[in-house]
Chains A and B, each alone.
Chain A
Amino acid sequence: MFYKFVAQVKRFKFYTMNNAHRYFLLLLGLLLVIPSTTFSQERKYILYGFGQIDYQASDKKNFINGFNQRRVNLIGEYFLDQNIRVLTDLEYEGGADMSASDSVFNGGFKVSRMWVEYTVMPELKIRAGKMLTPFGLYNLIHDASASYYAVDPPIMYLPFAFFPGIPSQRLIAKYSTGLEFLGTINLNNRGAQLEYDFGISNGRGMAPDGTDANQNKAVYGRLMLRPSLVQGLQLGTSFYHDKNAIGIGGTIDDDETNFGFDVQYESRALQIQAESMFSKFANPFARRQTATVSYAQAAYTLWDVFTPFLNFTSVLPNISNNDHSYQRWNIGLNYALSLNLYVKTEIQFHSFEEDHVDGSFNMLKSSLAVAF
């Protein structure tokens, strides 16, 4: 049954909206009818997922206040044996279909992840398929809103318009299709650990998902140290390099490189996160420049359910020229309605150093996030 399921999943992107809807409903049905034996004694097959609905309002020019059914993901994992694990992540993104006609497709349905993992030893796993790129604190989780306090993940993980007239783009590929080597090494008996994840994959481009736009492959990696001296502290560094088929500045086959540094401290009540990403790419005049995107965030949990948080983000598109820098302050509150169900609200103060097409603006965002 699982193989049929996987085969159907693989064919999804070729279906029309009607079929996609039909199969999505089928999957939902499966989720409902599969009895608790999916979590049975052997635990060979598990299903879980997450979803998110947002509301946003702003004084930004021409902004339409409203709801956004951001996404719902259904994830299935299957253990072929002790060492082989298969993961499939199906995502419906972009809102409910409000059109009268079936021919209008308002949402997007895709296979977000599909990989096979082989555990060689506890310290080494090999993963192949379509995966989230392991970069920084958020790229592996930023779709799953229930796993972090703020409404939006940090800007460095989202598409951003660095140049007027050139479409927004992420600094790194959100997904990578390729091969990864990853693992966790226990450094001592007091809990110190080193996590690593290195991979080679197709680079970014306009080619169909899962294929590459050019001969050059992306290489990436992440190292994360969890020292035993301070419980709850972790320090990480990441890199990503590829030849972007249509670069951030619009240059064809642009060599783009990113380095990231992150730190997180998490205790029972307090969470502090800070990250910086340094990104090298060509501008629209084919001249190289380095951008930095950084943020720092503090969150403190009261009575186990209320978590106020404060975030400061800075984007400097070109460190040798301070023009067009951008800052954002977020102040918000995360309330845990129950385990894995969160309501979040935040006010964002966006400011641009120089004249920008949007000007400076403020935004109110709320979100209902669930993991199940």
Chain B
Amino acid sequence: MTTLFNRKRTYFLLMLFGVTIGTLTLHSQTVILNKSNPLEKISRATLRNIFLGNNTAWENGVRIQIVDFSADNTLRKQFDENILDMSPQKVGMIWVKVTLSGKSIPPKIVHGEEELKNFISENEGAIGYVKNTNNLPQSLKLIPIIDE
């Protein structure tokens, strides 16, 4: 009986560990915005709608400008798979559709986190994601991704 109980407890702890690691992996990126953006948190669903071109303006009317990495970037792959639930290839195809239908313009592609931070610093409506949150300039802010 005691052995069974211990085994159950071990399974439970293992499961808890797995969920924790999974959650950490899922949100290993942090959403980064211009300091002037009033948003304090963002849901996964909203993030998905933004990064798939379904939302084109913030609630205050400012045009959303998406900044992203190239399709072969590891961080981009993680973001597309974990947040958008798609491969970068599929996301690229959806963006061709979104762009050519006149709905929105394609994301600005940057080559590194520093370039991404610079772009967001200079554009009120810009949004991106980063892994390295150290030495963040005053003109930027990080917001959490929440599951609603």
Contacts and interface: CB of A to CB of B under 8 A. Distances in A.
A268 B87 contact: yes
Interface in A318-341: 336, 339-340
Top 7 nearest A-B pairs (CB, nearest first) are A191-B45, A140-B101, A122-B57, A147-B97, A144-B100, A304-B87, A147-B96
B89 A336 contact: yes
A141 B100 contact: yes
Contacts of A79: 63
A179 interface: no
Interface stretch (A41-49, A275-283, A360-368): A41-49
Interface in A340-354: 340
A231 interface: yes
Contacts of A266: 94
Interface in B116-131: 118-119, 122-123, 125
Contact of B108 (A43, A113, A115): A43
A184 interface: yes
A371 B100 contact: yes
B76 to A, nearest CB: 11
Contacts of A301: 87, 90
Interface stretch (B9-17, B19-27, B32-40, B46-54): B46-54
Contacts of B46: 186, 189, 191
Interface in B52-94: 54-59, 61-63, 65, 71, 85-90, 92-94
Contacts of B48: 191, 231
Interface of A: 39, 41-43, 46, 48, 50, 75, 77, 79, 82-83, 87, 113, 115, 119, 121-122, 131-132, 140-141, 143-144, 146-148, 184, 186, 189-191, 193, 195, 226, 228, 231, 266-268, 301, 304-305, 336, 339-340, 371
Contacts of A340: 92-93, 96
B99 interface: yes
A121 B56 CA distance: 11
A144 B97 contact: yes
A29 B138 CA distance: 41
B123 A41 contact: yes
B43 interface: yes
Contact of B89 (A140, A228, A305): A305
B63 A119 contact: yes
A301 B87 CA distance: 10
17 contacts: A42-B123, A43-B108, A82-B62, A83-B63, A87-B102, A119-B57, A122-B59, A143-B100, A144-B100, A146-B96, A147-B93, A190-B43, A304-B90, A305-B89, A339-B89, A340-B93, A340-B96
A48 B97 CA distance: 13
Contacts of B62: 82
Given A43-B65, A82-B62, A147-B97, A268 B106 contact: no
B61 A141 contact: no
A90 B92 CA distance: 22
Nearest to A226: B54
A195 B104 CA distance: 14
A195 B55 CA distance: 10
Nearest to A370: B96
Contacts of A144: 96-97, 100
B96 A371 contact: yes
B148 A189 contact: yes
A48 B55 contact: no
B142 interface: no
A371 B93 CA distance: 9
A39 B103 CA distance: 18
A42 B108 CA distance: 10
B90 A140 contact: no
A42 B119 CA distance: 8
A90 B71 CA distance: 28
A228 B109 CA distance: 29
Query: Which of A77, A141, A146, A304 neighbours the largest number of chain B CB atoms within 10 Å of its CB?
Result: A141
Contact of A184 (B56, B65, B101): B56
Query: Which of A82, A87, A140, A339 neighbours the largest number of chain B CB atoms within 10 Å of its CB?
Result: A339
A144 B106 CA distance: 15
